[in-house]
Amino acid sequence: MAYTKRFDGRKFDEMREIRTEVGVIPNADGSAMFSFGDTIAIAAVYGPKPLHPQHLQNPQKGIIRCVYDMLSFSVTQRKKPGPSRRSQEISKVTEWALSPIIEIDEFPNTVVDVHIMITQANASTRCAGINAACMALAQAGIPMSEMVSAVSIGKVDDKIVVDLIKEEEDYEDGEGATDMPMAFLSRSGKISLLQLDGKTSPEKLKEAIEAGEKACIRIHEEQVKALKKIKEEN
């Protein structure tokens, strides 16, 4: 049966409600919450600070280190506590997505730690985490050339949809489902993340990237709005 209507009634190009908040963890150098509907990510930034052990230090510049994880009760089936292969992979992917915007050459031998915790999950968790991390980095005053925004685009059967939910990730009828998390830089428009879990044609991939770019412009507006709000309050 063809996929003609989304499970939650949204239009194919419509995201879930976006909520943002900056400064959610008082003792962090920078922190933020970002949610796509009931997918909620919280990010905390610490640093720049001396990197230990010393043999990992880079005398030319500082480095960024990301740790992504999900709370055990964030999903319907209880997740085993602690890091998994999946969380380690997403931690590395998040580093790659954020690295192009971070300008910490003037902080040699240091590290900026980014901790991302998913408190509630209904797909698109890595994208929500990247969005929260970018806002937290900005609040922490980490030098950045531009911002990064991320969204999960899917091909569900033969339709390109924006901001996947779990039911769409698991869709098996027709052509099945392909998940394409992607991130765009705000000023240059360059892609800093593009993954593909499944199969798609070059034409559909082009359509997905165009939909992702359009969605990320809207996400960036929400990120900036949250940062301006915290600045005004302080």
Any domain includes 10: no
Domain for residue 6, yes or no?
A: no
Nearest to 185 by CA among 226, 157, 144, 152: 144
Is position 5 within any domain?
A: no
Q: Which domain holds residue 136?
A: 18-233
pLDDT in tens, the chain (234 residues): 688 899 999 999 999 999 999 999 999 999 999 999 999 999 999 999 988 888 878 788 888 999 999 887 666 555 566 667 888 999 999 999 999 999 988 888 999 999 999 999 999 999 999 999 999 999 999 999 999 999 999 999 999 999 999 999 999 888 889 999 999 999 999 999 999 988 899 999 999 999 999 999 999 999 999 999 988 887
Spatial CA neighbour of 164 closest among 37, 47, 77, 43: 37
In a domain, residue 12? The reply is no
Residue 7 lies in a domain: no
On whether residue 3 sits in a domain, the answer given is: no
DSSP line for the chain: ----S-TT---TTPPPPEEEEE--STTSSEEEEEEETTEEEEEEEEEEEE-SSGGG--TT--EEEEEEEE-GGGSSSPPPSS--HHHHHHHHHHHHHHGGGB--TTSTTEEEEEEEEEEE-SS-HHHHHHHHHHHHHHHTT--BSS-EEEEEEEEETTEEEES--HHHHT--STT-EEEEEEEEETTT--EEEE--BS---HHHHHHHHHHHHHHHHHHHHHHHHHHHHHHHH-
Return the half-sphere exposure (C-beta side, CA atoms, 13 A cut-off) of residue 191: 15
CATH number, domain with residue 138: 3.30.230.70
> Structural domain tally of the chain?
1
Residues 6+ apart with CB under 8 A from 19: 33, 34, 35
Q: Is residue 165 part of a domain?
A: yes
Classify residue 4: in a domain, yes or no: no
pLDDT at 159: 93
Q: What is the pLDDT of residue 193?
A: 96
Other C-beta atoms within 10 Å of 233: how many? 8
